[in-house]
Structure 1
Amino acid sequence: MSRLSLGVAVVGTLLLTACGEGTGPGDSNTRVDSLTALPRTLSAVELEGVQANNGFALSLLRSTVTRISGDSGSAKNVLLSPISVSFALGLTMNGAANTTLAEMQQTLGWGSRSRTEINTAYRDLAALLPSLDNSTTIRIANGVWVLSPMRADTGFARDAQTYFGAPVHSLPTPRSMYDSVNAWGKRQTDGMVPRVLEDAPPPNLAMLLVNAVLFSGTWRDRFDPAKTTPRTFTPTSGAAFSHPMMQRTGNFLAFGNGKVSAVELLYGNGAYSMVLIAPQNEPASQYAARLDTAEYGSILRGLRAADNRSDVILPRFTVRGTLELKPMLEAMGMPRAFTPTAEFPRLIGGEGAQLEFVRHGVALEVDERGSRAAAVTVVGATVVSMPPVYAFTRPFVFFIRERLSGTILFAGVVNDPRQ
């Protein structure tokens, strides 16, 4: 992660909102129409899905901050794309059954909804989000990679394609699967997440289930670069330092209650926004570790148009990194999926499987023009019953012996089979 320690907790980069008009520096003759309502009414399942995603987002944030920062309130940056993690796990959930399925549904906030209802909600949300603002780019993509000669379960492959638009790719080695996913993720995120899988793949890797999300939005009211000046930034721990700070006046929403101060900055037509929350009396990490849907909702409902003379001052910053989410997800309520007793009968045809890892690569850039954010989430599944492979692809020792008496007839070392 970047070493820049932010004095605000960015807890809602992508929010559906209904917003007012505004223009930015240099845009005095250009006005983007405001989005005042969604193009269609959300179904009950879709509304539940939005609530489920937001609940999952805050739970994942709490779990991640708690694990990374502990009780010390560490000033390490944290960046997540909960919607990317949700899509990757939602795709994977199509292979689950029984207790494993129930734990995943509860963790993702879906309760007892049917597989078809959940899949339809993911499909419709993926279609809706990119359509809301022509000036903002939202890209959601999914894919599945399987180790040949194994095959994805037929029903799983059908659902993956129908509801997630996820084609199934077959490759001959775990390394080729890793390389292909890294290249795909780099393309889908326009290079913002160039490599999400960095370690050596497990030898019994059978499948990778992947989501990528890209967001690129221009501020509705841009910051004037001429007003960006060095200002003192005071981290939770360590010495204060000078950092480029952007500044603009008016045309934003704000909230303050003595405990936190918050602002909402709009992108494009107002469909998307960035919400920033700065706790006044505790470290941002400690605040994020206890932030729940009730308090988050209270802040959003309290947002009001700021005084037109009010300034918002925000650091220009970039945050990026890679996280392993397995321990967070186990703590959130889905431990069985990561054990040999996991139930994934619809994942890999004819084989029992368990989840090995959930790797999450993320990046966010914020400047005077707007924001770019990207994430790639990879769920790695291994085969539980797969026999080990004994490959003598490195130098080896050998013996030829008579087995009944144990007599060794020949012995040697092969360092180079070409000799």
Structure 2
Amino acid sequence: MAAALRLLLPCLLAQVWLAPGTAPARPQAPAVQNETLQVVRAPEEEEEEPWPPAGGQQLSEQTSDLGFSLLRKISMRHDGNVVFSPFGLSLALAALMLGASGQTRAQLEGVLSAHSPSQAGPGHLPALFRRLRQHLSRNQELGLTQGSLAFVQEDFDVKGTFLNLSQSYFDTQCVAVDFRNASQARTLVNRHVNRETQGQVPGLLDEVNPDTKVMLVDYVLLRGKWLTPFDPAFTEDDTFHLDKYRTVKVPMMYSEGNFASTFDQRLRCHVLQLPYRGRASMLVVLTERMSDHLALEDYLSAELVGTWLSSMKTRHMEVLFPKFKLDQKYEMHELLKQMRVTRLFSPWAHLGELSAISRNLKVSRVLQRAVIEVDEEGTEAAAGTLSEIVAYSMPPVIKVNRPFHFLIYEEASRVALFLGRVVNPTLL
């Protein structure tokens, strides 16, 4: 099996709550139940140009910084293994932003962009994300698949403009469903998601709220192949140190060749670049002292990563890296609330661009599931202070045998596709 971050699946659920005395939504049944809905033709896309366009670099940096902020929030809840996709979550929030207005939209834009709404038009961010998606999809060697599904209650009045823009910017497939039949709706959603994610997520939903009106699902699937694969003949069980006192045995992969790396003297950590085909890489960050890996997270930022990359030196070395698989699921709405994205989940949410009954519409959950498996062939997937960086000759052997962080990014855009922490490679 290819070593790859198999899948990250962010899922947004929007539920309508009708206030006392409010009339039900006007029926607008689709032509064919439980099949893809037809929407009006999307506007023509802008001409392709090399990445990054104006604002593209800021978008990538903001996406990465959103990921680092969420990692710190997750660490406040537990200190175990972590994996999620900043890119996938940003796509999901940008898709939902198409239906938002007022303060709700402003809060979403605040976590997705360094610019205020007054500095760019309402379609600026979605257009940038579309350009980024197009840039990534043209890289066939990268093995990245991204898509969007909108499950709509069959008699719920969704604005055609919202469906049109969702299709235009995110290629969203709209599927009619009857959420009032919760069991049937769960089966339908899980079947569609399982098909689109090539079987990597066979059962995303355990239950469905019958009051749900719209469910947005954005998925990212990465099947990355190492530029220089590890030779399985050299993989052997070896010791991985969980802390000072506990160890586990893990399959440790081995490779010898030219690798780019640097050493951060201030943070006392090694940074190793493991390249994929298709101009993408995994950055592995390994602190010198085992107990420092959590403290390192306070300093992580897009600016710091950029400094590491600019100081990389390529040298011949031996690398030992553990095989591992992680499967994590997060309630991102609770973490987003801590980042002042609150209107979206409250009765005061402004979702007038999604439906005419927006005053009764709110997002109830933002779920994200990520699975990463790393082996000899590759990776398959469903802090503002600058550190002092100096030239440093890493030892001829670097052995990743203690807790470490990883960042998978595409090199031209430097967007954070996946981010994680491995504390125990033997646990999901």
| Alignment partner, residue 79 of structure 1 | 83
CA distance in 1, matches of 2:244, 2:187: 39
> Aligned ranges for residues 176-215 of structure 1 at < 5 Å?
176-198=184-206, 200-215=207-222
CA distance in 1, matches of 2:101, 2:339: 18
> Aligned ranges for residues 371-390 of structure 1 at < 5 Å?
371-374=379-382
CA distance in 2, matches of 1:286, 1:184: 41
The question of 1:126 aligning with 2:130 is answered no
Contact 1:61–1:289 under 8 Å retained in 2: no
Among candidates 57, 66, 73, match of residue 56 of structure 1: 66
Instruction: Indicate the structure whose relative CO is greater, using CA pairs within 8 Å and at least 6 residues apart.
Output: 2
Give secondary structure in 2 for the equivalent of 1:118. Answer: helix
Change (3 A) 1:238 1:155: farther
Any stretches of 5+ residues in structure 2 without a counterpart?
9-47, 383-428
Contact 2:179–2:209 under 8 Å retained in 1: no
Give secondary structure in 2 for the equivalent of 1:321. Answer: strand
| Alignment partner, residue 106 of structure 2 | 102
Give secondary structure in 2 for the equivalent of 1:333. Answer: coil
Change (3 A) 1:57 1:178: same
CA distance in 1, matches of 2:245, 2:342: 37
Larger gyration radius, structure 1 or structure 2: 1
Q: Alpha-carbon deviation of 1:369?
A: 0.6
The question of 1:227 aligning with 2:234 is answered yes
Contact 1:145–1:177 under 8 Å retained in 2: no
CA distance in 2, matches of 1:62, 1:300: 22
Contact 1:138–1:215 under 8 Å retained in 2: yes
Contact 2:179–2:208 under 8 Å retained in 1: no
> Aligned ranges for residues 222-301 of structure 1 at < 5 Å?
222-236=229-243, 239-258=246-265, 259-269=268-278, 271-281=279-289, 282-301=291-310
Contact 1:362–1:373 under 8 Å retained in 2: yes
Q: Alpha-carbon deviation of 1:220?
A: 0.6
CA distance in 2, matches of 1:257, 1:51: 20
Q: Alpha-carbon deviation of 1:290?
A: 4.2
CA distance in 2, matches of 1:124, 1:180: 31
How far does the alpha carbon of each residue in 1:26-70 deviate from its partner, in whole angstroms, 9 at most, with x for none?
Answer: xxxxxxxxxxxx98242113233222222222222222222x32x
Q: Alpha-carbon deviation of 1:289?
A: 4.7
CA distance in 2, matches of 1:331, 1:323: 14
CA distance in 1, matches of 2:365, 2:299: 26
Residue identity matched to 1:165: D
TM-score, normalization by structure 1: 0.74
Contact 2:325–2:373 under 8 Å retained in 1: yes
Contact 1:188–1:213 under 8 Å retained in 2: no
| Alignment partner, residue 157 of structure 1 | 163
Among candidates 365, 368, 373, match of residue 376 of structure 2: 368
Contact 2:263–2:269 under 8 Å retained in 1: yes
CA distance in 1, matches of 2:86, 2:282: 15
Q: Alpha-carbon deviation of 1:284?
A: 2.6
CA distance in 2, matches of 1:277, 1:181: 37
Contact 1:104–1:333 under 8 Å retained in 2: no
Change (3 A) 1:320 1:156: same
Comparing 185-194 with 248-257, greater Cα deviation is found at: 185-194
Residue identity matched to 1:136: L
Contact 1:193–1:362 under 8 Å retained in 2: no
Contact 2:179–2:213 under 8 Å retained in 1: no
Residue identity matched to 2:195: R
The question of 1:354 aligning with 2:358 is answered no
Give secondary structure in 2 for the equivalent of 1:341. Answer: coil
Q: Alpha-carbon deviation of 1:192?
A: 2.0
Residue identity matched to 1:285: L
CA distance in 1, matches of 2:103, 2:66: 19
CA distance in 2, matches of 1:329, 1:264: 30
* Identity fraction in percent: 24
CA distance in 2, matches of 1:237, 1:151: 59
Among candidates 223, 232, 237, match of residue 216 of structure 1: 223
Any stretches of 5+ residues in structure 1 without a counterpart?
1-9, 14-37, 375-419
CA distance in 2, matches of 1:152, 1:304: 53
Q: What is the Cα-based RMSD across aligned positions, in Å?
A: 2.1
| Alignment partner, residue 406 of structure 1 | none
Change (3 A) 1:49 1:135: same
Residue identity matched to 1:284: H
Change (3 A) 1:223 1:39: farther
Among candidates 158, 161, 169, match of residue 175 of structure 2: 169
How many residues of Structure 1 are paired with residues of Structure 2 in the alignment? Answer: 328
CA distance in 2, matches of 1:252, 1:178: 46
Q: Alpha-carbon deviation of 1:304?
A: 1.5
CA distance in 2, matches of 1:299, 1:225: 30
